[in-house]
Amino acid sequence: MNFQQSTGFVIWLTGMKKAGKTTLATQLAQRLTQAGRVVQLLDEDGEAKFLLEGLGPSKDGQVTAVKRFGYTAKAVARSGGIAVCAALSPFREPREQLRREARRFVEVFVDCTIEKLMDRDGKEAYYKKAMTGEITQVAGVDLPYEPPVHPELVLHTEQEPVEACLTRIFQALVDGKFIGPTEFGRLTGGLKPKRKSGKPARAGQGAKPPKAAKAKKAAGKAGKKKR
């Protein structure tokens, strides 16, 4: 086993409640375990829920939750394992602090439209009650949810099926050199990873301008030629 394979890391899935974090984290943990990795699943809606005991939805409570999950995740990574964490973690700075401490850290933003989140409410009607004020202190409604600024990956679960999301996560692990092409194949049923084409362009940094802006620019050039 080479150094790359023997070094642990943290996969941190953040996103609003019902965005799909638990489903993805569970599948990730199962696939990685089947591939021979030592994995610890830390899901705030699963067995790791005890780490939230005594904490509320306030900012202090959420910051402490990230610290508790992060402490466990770092211990797993230091021992050579993979910590797969599914946590609301609505505030940006605690996540960034954990990134600095863990170093080998993969942040996945599990995004979803509020309309789709409400569709997933079911009988619980969590978001519908929050929208009408029947319940309060809901991240993304009357409490803030701060999306990551530079996550390794953004998943739109209202558009992408679970299998496609998993493949994109494994691709991100290859791009970050957390796993190799051979392991990617085992995790995806024989697929080959795509070649990394570089970092995606951010707004204002090489991103393609809108069509209207292109047309305006072309019109300006044409005007200069006539003069």
* Helix ranges restricted to H, the chain: 3-6, 21-34, 59-78, 92-102, 114-119, 126-132, 162-175, 181-188, 211-226
Residue with tokens 């996969």: 11
Within a 10 A sphere around the Cβ of 212, how many other Cβ atoms? 8
Which neighbouring-strand residues pair with 139? 143
Distances in Å between the alpha carbon of 91 and those of 16, 114, 160? 11, 18, 25
Question: How far apart (Å, rounded) are the C-alpha atoms in residues 61 and 81?
Answer: 27
Which one from 6, 58, 79, 89 is the annotated catalytic residue?
A: 89
Is 58 a known active-site residue? Answer: no
Q: Tell me which residues are annotated as active site.
A: 89
